[in-house]
Amino acid sequence: MSALTVDHLFSSLDSFGLRLQTLLEQLGIDLAAYEADHIALRVNDVELAKRLHQAWLSHGEEISVNTINGRPIVVIKVKDVLSFGAWQTHCVELPYPSEKSYPEEGWEHAEWVIPSKAITPEALLDDVFCLFPALKARWVKLSEMGVNVKLSSPSGEGERIANPTVAFKANGVCVKLHPVSLEHVIESER
């Protein structure tokens, strides 16, 4: 059983931000002009997810619990801003574990909203290339650089808006870009 606690998560925000910044530099993406939408955890144990879920409630309010890909995804809006590197957010996403096991539990990804009217991941990728031309120049070498890319259109029960995603993962962290904020998606469910 993991000893991961909310206190540990608070203390690991700086190193998480540094790891994200390293990945962004590798990609040639500068997100300084964009607000971080939310950050997300990964845990492997349902009991740990339940403990963290309850612990986060003492720091904020649950704004959503939705089933996505067969498991609950909890979103907590915290009272005090969470700073990681150059960014800040008020939302924490806690997916309950699936069959997949993560080598490291803790902060796993951060998501940013970028300007786009895209409704498919491929159209979003075109917009990402326009916003970040350095990424387009490095695109064919990402695999060699150890970066995995995933295009997806995740959706929960009741969502009414398309929110395609482009995700970049390397060295245990992931950067996700999409056109609609998590809070706006949650609002669409109501």
Cα–Cα dist 100/78, whole Å: 27
Any idea what the CATH number is for the domain that residue 134 is in?
3.10.180.10
Query: How would you classify residue 171: left for phi > 0, otherwise alpha for psi between -120 and 50, otherwise beta?
Result: left
Domain membership flag for residue 137 = yes
Cα–Cα dist 67/158, whole Å: 10
Largest CA-CA distance found in the chain, in angstroms, rounded:
45
Q: Which structural domain, as residue segments, surrounds residue 133?
A: 6-189
CA neighbor of 170 nearest in space, from 2, 8, 22, 3: 22
CA neighbor of 95 nearest in space, from 118, 76, 122, 117: 76
Q: What is the mean pLDDT of the chain?
A: 92
Domain membership flag for residue 35 = yes
The answer to whether residues 56 and 79 touch, using CB atoms and an 8 Å cutoff, is no
What pTM was computed for the model? Answer: 0.92
CA neighbor of 112 nearest in space, from 54, 187, 168: 168
Give mean pLDDT, residues 113-141.
Answer: 96
Domain membership flag for residue 125 = yes
Domain membership flag for residue 46 = yes
Q: Where are the beta strands (DSSP E) in 58-102?
A: 60-68, 71-84, 87-95
Whole-number pLDDT of residue 182: 86
Domain membership flag for residue 1 = no
What's the number of domains the chain is made of? Answer: 1
- Helix or strand run (H / E) with residue 178: strand 173-178
Domain membership flag for residue 75 = yes
Per-residue pLDDT tens digits for 142-173: 999 999 999 998 665 555 678 899 999 999 99
